[in-house]
C-alpha cells in the first residue's frame, strides 16, 4: 500500500492532483515592503526603532517544471520581530530550488548546523541547529572549534530570537529563522492541522506543530507533534550519540555548571522509547490537508508550553536527498532560473516600479509644514503616511496631483519621521526620512 501511495505522489505534479510546493508560498501581490525593528542597548534594556525599507517583502517569483520549483525572494518580510542581537536586517538575493519529486537515499545527508536547511513560505531562510561555535579541547573554549561538539542554537542564541519567527539577522544582515515560525501558524486553531510553514531542501514540506493523531487518518483528532529527542544521560563527553567513538583530542568538556547538559547538539539523542510522534529526522509519513494521499513531512517541534524543542525544524540528517546547490547556503545560492522550459508565477511588476519611483520632500528639515513632490503624476499613487520611529502613524492624507502639502499636528515632538507614499491597494511604493525641528 505504501508503495502505491508513493507512486501517486510521484505522478501527482503531472496529473495536477495537488501542487502545494507551487501554491503554498506567500507571494507579494500588493507591493508590500519589508520592515523591521532596529535594536539599541543591551539586554535587558533594549529599545527598538521601527524601520520601513524600500525592499520588497516575501516571495517575488515562483517558477516550476516537472522536477523542480525555483523561488526568488529577498529574505525580508513585513514587520519582522524584535530580536535582541545587534545589527539590522538587510535585503539579500535568494534563488532556491526545491525538488518536486523527492527521493529517499539509503545514505542520509547531514543537515547544516549553521547554514540554511530550507525556506519558510514567506521567503525567510530556515537555519540549522548550531550557533557557529563548537568545542576545542586545546583551548578549552567554544570559540572557533572542531565541529565535533557544536553549541546548540537555542541554548546559545534563543534569548536573541524574536517572537514572530524565532529569527534574527546574522552579522551580514541576513534575517533567518532557527525555531518555531509562530506568525505562520498562529491564526490556525490548535484543533486544526497546522499549515505548511516552509519546505526543506530535500523537497518535503515543513508543517507547524499540530497534525493528525493517527498519521494516515484525516478524521482523527489533531494533536501536538512531539519530538522523539531527549537529553542524553551522560556526565562526560567522550562518546557521541548512538555510541560513536571519538579520539581524546575530540572530547568535549565534562557536564558541569559551565557546560550543562544541553549545551551542545550532541547532548541530544533520538530514542523510540521517548514515545514521540516524530522520527529521528523530525518527521513522519502521514496524510495532511495539502497531501490527502500522504507524504513524508517535517513538523515544527514545541513543548506543551509552546517553547521550541530540539530539533526545531529537521533532525541531524535530512530524510530525503537535499538539493546540493541550496543546502547550507548563506546569503545567496548562486542559482539561476532556467531560460526555457519553465512556467513562472510573478507576484507583480511592482518591484520594478518601486525601483524607478521616488519622491521629493521639501523643505527638509521642516517645521512640520512641507511639500511632497512626485516625479510623475500617476493614478498608481493614492495617499501619504507619516510614521514615528516606533512605527506609529501620526499623519495620513490623500495625495493631490504632483504636489501635496503636508501640515503635521502642532504638538508633534521634534525628531526624525518616515514619510511613505502608498498605492490604491495600500502597497508602499517608497519611503523617505524627514527631520522635524
Sign of CA pseudo-dihedral 43, 49, 55, 57: positive
What torsion, rounded to 10 degrees, do the Cα atoms 202, 161, 60, 113 define?
A: -30
- Pairing relationship of beta strands 210-212 and 403-407 according to DSSP bridges: unpaired
Helix, strand or coil, per DSSP, at residue 169 = strand
Residue/partner pairs of 304-309 with CB below 8 Å, 24 or more apart: 304/224, 306/180, 306/182, 306/209, 308/154, 308/158, 308/166, 308/178, 308/179, 308/180, 309/227, 309/229
H or E element in which residue 132 lies = strand 130-134
Return phi, psi of residue 124, to 5°.
-85, 130
Least confident of 92-96, 115-119, 141-145: 141-145
Residue showing cell 514615528 = 388
Which residues sit opposite 252 in a β-bridge? none
pLDDT value at residue 337: 84
| pLDDT, mean of residues 372-388 | 75
**CA quadruple 265, 269, 275, 277: dihedral positive or negative?**
positive
Q: Which of 219, 217, 202 is nearest to 283 (CA)?
A: 202
**Residue 329 above 90 pLDDT?**
no
Q: How confident is the model at residue 156 (pLDDT cuts 50, 70, 90)?
A: confident
pTM for this structure? 0.79
Average pLDDT of the residues of the chain: 87
Confidence of residue 18 (pLDDT cuts 50, 70, 90): low
Residue 277 has pLDDT above 60, yes or no: yes
> Is 300's pLDDT higher than 90?
yes
- For the chain, the structural domain boundaries read 2-133+149-228+262-346, 357-436
pLDDT at 2: 46
Whole-number Å distance between alpha carbons of 106 and 309: 27
Contact 431, 417 (CB under 8 A): no
From CA 116, how far away is CA 175, in angstroms rounded? 11
Give the model's pLDDT for residue 41: 85
Q: Across residues 322-348, what is the average pLDDT?
A: 73
What's residue 352's pLDDT?
Answer: 46
Percentage of the chain modeled with pLDDT above 90: 63
Does domain 357-436 match CATH 2.60.40.10? no
Predicted confidence band at 428 (pLDDT cuts at 50, 70, 90)?
Answer: low
Which whole number is the average pLDDT over 112-129?
Answer: 94
Share of the chain above pLDDT 70, in %: 88
The per-residue pLDDT for 358 is 67
Convert the pLDDT of each residue in 398-421 to its tens digit: 888 788 899 999 888 888 888 888
Q: Model confidence at 13, in pLDDT bands (50, 70, 90)?
A: very low
Q: Please, which pLDDT band fits residue 98 given cuts at 50, 70 and 90?
A: very high
* Secondary structure of residue 226 in the 3-state scheme: coil
By the 10 Å C-beta count (0-12 exposed, 13-18 middle, 19+ buried), 181 is classed as buried
Amino acid at each position: 500500500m505504501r508503495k502505491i501511495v508513493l507512486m501517486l505522489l510521484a505522478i501527482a505534479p503531472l496529473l495536477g492532483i495537488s501542487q502545494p510546493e507551487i501554491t503554498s508560498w506567500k507571494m507579494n501581490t500588493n507591493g508590500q515592503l519589508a520592515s523591521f525593528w532596529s535594536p539599541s542597548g543591551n539586554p535587558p534594556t533594549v529599545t527598538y526603532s521601527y524601520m520601513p525599507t524600500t525592499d520588497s517583502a516575501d516571495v517575488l517569483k515562483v517558477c516550476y517544471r516537472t522536477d523542480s520549483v525555483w523561488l526568488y525572494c529577498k529574505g525580508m518580510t513585513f514587520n519582522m520581530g524584535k530580536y535582541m542581537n545587534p545589527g539590522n536586517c538587510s535585503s539579500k538575493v535568494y534563488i532556491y530550488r526545491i525538488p518536486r519529486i523527492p527521493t529517499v537515499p539509503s545514505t542520509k545527508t547531514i543537515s547544516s548546523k549553521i547554514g540554511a536547511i530550507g525556506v519558510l513560505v514567506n521567503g525567510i531562510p530556515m537555519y540549522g541547529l548550531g550557533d557557529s561555535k563548537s568545542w576545542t579541547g586545546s583551548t578549552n573554549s567554544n570559540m572557533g572549534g572542531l565541529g565535533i561538539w557544536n553549541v546548540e542554537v537555542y541554548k546559545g542564541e534563543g534569548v536573541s530570537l524574536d517572537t514572530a519567527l524565532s529569527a534574527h539577522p546574522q552579522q551580514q544582515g541576513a534575517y533567518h529563522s532557527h525555531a518555531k515560525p509562530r506568525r505562520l501558524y498562529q491564526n490556525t486553531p490548535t484543533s486544526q492541522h497546522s499549515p505548511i510553514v516552509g519546505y526543506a531542501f530535500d523537497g518535503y514540506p515543513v508543517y507547524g506543530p499540530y497534525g493528525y493523531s493517527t498519521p494516515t487518518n484525516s478524521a482523527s483528532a489533531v494533536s501536538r507533534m512531539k519530538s522523539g529527542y531527549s537529553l542524553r544521560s551522560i556526565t562526560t563527553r567522550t562518546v557521541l550519540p548512538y555510541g560513536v567513538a571519538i579520539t581524546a583530542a575530540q572530547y568535549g568538556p565534562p557536564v558541569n555548571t559551565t557546560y550543562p547538559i544541553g549545551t551542545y547538539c550532541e547532548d541530544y539523542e533520538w530514542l523510540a522509547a521517548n514515545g514521540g510522534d516524530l522520527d529521528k529526522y523530525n518527521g513522519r509519513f502521514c496524510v495532511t490537508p495539502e497531501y490527502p494521499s500522504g507524504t513524508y513531512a517535517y513538523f515544527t517541534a514545541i513543548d506543551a508550553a509552546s517553547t521550541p524543542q530540539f530539533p526545531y525544524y529537521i533532525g541531524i540528517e535530512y530524510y530525503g536527498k537535499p538539493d546540493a546547490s541550496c543546502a547550507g547556503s548563506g546569503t545567496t545560492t548562486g542559482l539561476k532560473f532556467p531560460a526555457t522550459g519553465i512556467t513562472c508565477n510573478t507576484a507583480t511588476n511592482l518591484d520594478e516600479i518601486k525601483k524607478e519611483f521616488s519622491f521629493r520632500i521639501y523643505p527638509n528639515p521642516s517645521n512640520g509644514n512641507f511639500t511632497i513632490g512626485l516625479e510623475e503624476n500617476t493614478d498608481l499613487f493614492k495617499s501619504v503616511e507619516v510614521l514615528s520611529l516606533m512605527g506609529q502613524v501620526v499623519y495620513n492624507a490623500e495625495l493631490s496631483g504632483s504636489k501635496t502639502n503636508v501640515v503635521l499636528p502642532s504638538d508633534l515632538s521634534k525628531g526624525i519621521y518616515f514619510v511613505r507614499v502608498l498605492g490604491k491597494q495600500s502597497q508602499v511604493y517608497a519611503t523617505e526620512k524627514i527631520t522635524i525641528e
